[in-house]
Amino acid sequence: MVKVVYEIVPHDGGWAYRFRDVYSEAFPTHSEAVEAARIVAAEQQVGGDSAEISWQDESGKWHEEYADGGDRPETEVIDGQMHFPPVDTAPGA
């Protein structure tokens, strides 16, 4: 299973969450960046519709495959040594 880890980091005079080399917008406070990252991590858990997809790899070759809408990555938000579970974004939560 794929694991997506969002890291809380200083960015553009504020705070952001980062996945690999991609940064979110800058947030004025650390706690706002943590909350935004937790929401994004929870949204990664929401399944979608299964579908046939096409995608291009780094060498330019196209691939076709079946994407299971329920196949979602594991997510985590980290800030130094602290780990935050994603917030529950289910309706009525």
Return all residues near 70 (Cβ < 8 A) that are at least 6 apart: 47, 50
CA-closest candidate to residue 38, choices 9, 3, 8, 2:
8
pTM: 0.66
pLDDT at 15 (0 to 100): 96
pLDDT at 91 (0 to 100): 47
The predicted-structure confidence for 30-88, as pLDDT tens digits, reads as follows 999 999 999 999 988 888 888 888 989 989 999 998 878 778 788 999 987 566 666 66
Mean pLDDT, rounded, for 9-34 = 95
